[in-house]
Chain A
């Protein structure tokens, strides 16, 4: 008679450290997919635009559409989604919504204006330029807003470190590179030396690793038991599988090894694998750190550890 989720809530409320399930389970999982896809899309669009890979931009735009859809599924009342535009002055989620909106419109205008099938607007027209700018503003917003959403969640100490926004930006860039590498691979092109993409990827990955280590070290040393509990869940608890398997193995070890070219020459298929693995790694990085969120227990001040 009692729904399983209700029983789970009761057990959570009884336990000292209550895992956040709002953005993790049920429709909440789509929030994670949404943040992942939108993050990769933002990085993908910017890097594809920078490296002039039209395919990358298309792929990024598709990913952004999927991300938007995922966000809608996460909403319990999606029919009111437009309300989310209202509080951009204070709400990072609202700013993210605007970011996605700009990007979708900008991207659309951009594609319409220069698509091969000869739309009347033609390249270089004001519409295309407007689209391009809007898309860039949108993807920059999407890239930057996401970390702040977590920092603003005062109920989850693990997310409140100031490094979170930078980390999310780094994710986005890494995702972007991976999208580029993936699109090149899909085109069957060899990676020319000049692109330096792989080196860039390794660099960004290094940044991500450093940020991660800093964040974990920061949380552990902060003495905040709740943040430590999240890390415990992440590294030794319920999310260890996703962290070690998804983030480290697939997201780091596999692509890094492949980039050295020792296993196999950097053929298109290897590039595809690197790109894909990196993206999957990013997904599990976000998935495990979001699910590792634990609510700050409500305690008497002198009992708060």
Chain B
């Protein structure tokens, strides 16, 4: 037995045996947990049964948190690089420094930049600990920079999923109403079967639904996770979901004719009259879009006529122009998407497309109602949902809209059993009514979200203008996380649009930028241009090669968070049941010199003289009122700010101390909150009238600067548009790669967790490239062979192939984001495939509307000889 080094002796006061309530953050699902601490050491993590978030149970990651917390490879002290040369794999020559030295240097640079132009500072955050990172929402505005972004998360994750879910369902994403849904169509999503928002709670709800008899049809290139549990797996060529969804919409509208006419009249902009130029015909006085009142056979503003009398079809003369209701334009437009056309593109047989659509139409039970807790509601127990897998393509926006359109045609939107936004409406915290939100009608009667993840909701949209943000989101106004932070085009545009400043300094919070966006060389270039990078991290990862000062973070078992599940549209279970409000609190002492990052930010604000601004930002972010507001430039500890936030929302007797003991409080949801759509007088856009005009406005600014906007993406009617990979037809480039989120891993950091890594090594898919057995045998490959994938641009990755029947013959399924090469993560190093190495980060591969990155690529496969 080789000699085992004793663990570092950390004096632990024998504090006996207690279970401490807090919140898991190995992913942003933020399930409520209880941590068993014995004599100062955390020895078990379990779910907190008092909370509806997880209901006392955790997924595989949640229970494995200890091996990340106590990983000996954790960064434990502040360090400064001594080797000025930066590059992949070049040793930065770390030397330990004190917190004071680190903060003085960072604060000095902040002061200089803030004097010149605070926007020279950009901030990059990991999505993993999204809600725990709330203090950044105060630090950045306090300092004065608007250049804030999620490391790859948004770009890969859900730019379009979030935007379109916001426009149509007033929430961050959509789900089937598991409790009542009888027929769920999954397009490129796992919802309740692998990872993502509320994955743990969704698993329970989806399992209940499956046992109750909900039929699941999963459209996915791979039969893993959701498709494995489905009643029917519909294999599909990668990235062609929109063609299938539009063909199904066509069958619904033009073959079966099973439409929820009252819904389309009252809840969509279907009745709005569209003139020859494709825009609304507007009332001369009120400028409101006009509709045709069939009772009085005259055009009236939408907010004057009764929806019941509005025409959805026909042609009319209004204000001297001939016009038609937008619905008929959509209905006609859909006709070109015949099932036969879709079969050609998607490889899904036409008769399956017709059968599935007929099943969906029948299960939707158009016209039926149901009584829930005494409230009569529309009953549409069928849902078509989608998420990251579907929208990870250049046609992201339309891909997502095409799927959600299926629900709109049968009225299955935010009612019982239907497609749901997560928690789009909330009455507020009992007794104080704080934090409540309700979707409502905005300009032109179209729906505005009740609440949003940030402060630029999807509607109403600002006007595109000459950009002053590095990500150019003030020009691409429907964009969210942006490629222009790191892409070459971004720099060229800053130049040509004479951006008043250039990025000089980056502060990173846990994001592994080198692995989470695209190929590593390109990202390395963009990082090397920055003068100074400071980074809060758990481990020294691939990005650390470019960092100047690394600061040790306490991690989720050592941090405060008063809003782990807020806003409820992000990480709280949907559907009927309870609301829960939990907190996150430090559970164990640090193993080294780690500090709570929020207090570090407050220190920095003090040293760089913007503490009063940061306090004002905290007041704004937490919406603190009365004596809970932070005063002037007084220095608060983050613990005090948390106490103020909780008292502000829950009253003085329920501050931090109350929640530290209680952990979580819950109260019941009402049917009106969960099934809010009939109670909200607002319409959703199924005809995106503003798009052509918006495209032209953007082109007017970006065109002269050398970036042309492809107008087919800015059309008012939803279309299938191929990705670059579909048009790559070099010979023997015959596989489409796609990546999916493994249930065992979160983004790129849990591969270092020894338990999760061990489980992933045993999993047939986690660290392998899944290939169809027949496709593999045809190429003389055997299960376990080492193969190489190469894109047309010459990007290469290697990995072990796993031959399986459970994948489309042209698909290569890879779990992301593995393939570490950093020495600071020895367990993770060399495990799995660095998928993003295959990706380019340029305008041809970015969705021109929401700036989502196209994640599929066409590759050539070859076996790697091993001696």
Contact = CB atoms under 8 A, between A and B. Distances in A.
Interface stretch (B159-167, B252-260, B424-432, B758-766): B758-766
Closest 8 CB pairs of A and B: A10-B761, A13-B762, A14-B762, A1-B826, A10-B762, A14-B764, A10-B758, A14-B761
A1 B764 CA distance: 23
Given A14-B762, A14-B764, 6 more contacts: A1-B826, A10-B758, A10-B761, A10-B762, A13-B762, A14-B761
Interface string B528-547: 00000000000000000000
Nearest to A1: B826
Interface in B745-797: 758, 761-762, 764
Interface string A7-28: 0001001100000000000000
8 contacts: A1-B826, A10-B758, A10-B761, A10-B762, A13-B762, A14-B761, A14-B762, A14-B764
Contacts of B761: 10, 14
Nearest to A15: B784
Nearest to B768: A14
A10 B761 CA distance: 7
A10 B826 CA distance: 18
Contacts of B764: 14
A119 to B, nearest CB: 44
A15 to B, nearest CB: 9
A174 to B, nearest CB: 40
A13 B761 CA distance: 10
Interface in A277-296: none
Contact residue range for chain A? under 10
Contacts of B826: 1
Interface in A1-58: 1, 10, 13-14
Q: Which of A1, A10, A13, A14 has the most CB of B within 10 A?
A: A14
Interface string B796-827: 00000000000000000000000000000010
Nearest to B761: A10
A10 B762 CA distance: 7
A1 B757 CA distance: 14
A263 to B, nearest CB: 42
A12 to B, nearest CB: 10
B267 to A, nearest CB: 47
A77 to B, nearest CB: 12
A254 to B, nearest CB: 36
A1 B754 CA distance: 12
A236 B306 CA distance: 82
Contacts of A13: 762
A164 to B, nearest CB: 32
Contacts of A14: 761-762, 764
Contacts of B762: 10, 13-14
A296 to B, nearest CB: 18
A228 B516 CA distance: 47
Contacts of A1: 826
A14 B760 CA distance: 10
Nearest to B2: A3
Interface string B168-185: 000000000000000000
Contacts of A10: 758, 761-762
A265 to B, nearest CB: 50
A6 to B, nearest CB: 9
A14 B767 CA distance: 12
Interface in A101-142: none
Nearest to A14: B762
Nearest to B827: A1
A103 to B, nearest CB: 33
Nearest to A10: B761
B823 to A, nearest CB: 12
Interface string B817-841: 0000000001000000000000000
A249 B826 CA distance: 48
Nearest to A13: B762
Contacts of B758: 10
A261 to B, nearest CB: 49
Nearest to B758: A10
A69 B764 CA distance: 42
A13 B762 CA distance: 7
Nearest to A16: B783
A183 B761 CA distance: 54
A14 B758 CA distance: 11
A132 to B, nearest CB: 44
B710 to A, nearest CB: 46
Nearest to A2: B827
B753 to A, nearest CB: 15
Nearest to B764: A14
Interface string A179-201: 00000000000000000000000
B758 to A, nearest CB: 7
A10 B763 CA distance: 10
A92 B762 CA distance: 34
Interface in B287-343: none
A76 to B, nearest CB: 10
Interface in B232-287: none
Interface in B485-522: none
B526 to A, nearest CB: 33
B767 to A, nearest CB: 10
A99 B758 CA distance: 43
Nearest to B763: A14
Interface in A39-88: none
A1 B758 CA distance: 14
A14 B765 CA distance: 11
A291 to B, nearest CB: 22
A114 to B, nearest CB: 46
Interface in B679-730: none
Nearest to A11: B761
A14 B764 CA distance: 7
A65 B761 CA distance: 43
B207 to A, nearest CB: 19
A218 B115 CA distance: 87
Interface string B6-34: 00000000000000000000000000000
Interface in A192-249: none
Nearest to A6: B758
B761 to A, nearest CB: 5
B824 to A, nearest CB: 14
A78 to B, nearest CB: 15
A10 B754 CA distance: 13
A14 B761 CA distance: 8
A299 to B, nearest CB: 14
A1 B752 CA distance: 14
A207 B826 CA distance: 57
B773 to A, nearest CB: 14
A159 B764 CA distance: 29
B229 to A, nearest CB: 15
Nearest to A7: B761
A13 B760 CA distance: 12
Interface string A153-176: 000000000000000000000000
A229 to B, nearest CB: 15
A13 B764 CA distance: 11
A81 B680 CA distance: 78
B716 to A, nearest CB: 52
A14 B826 CA distance: 22
A54 to B, nearest CB: 44
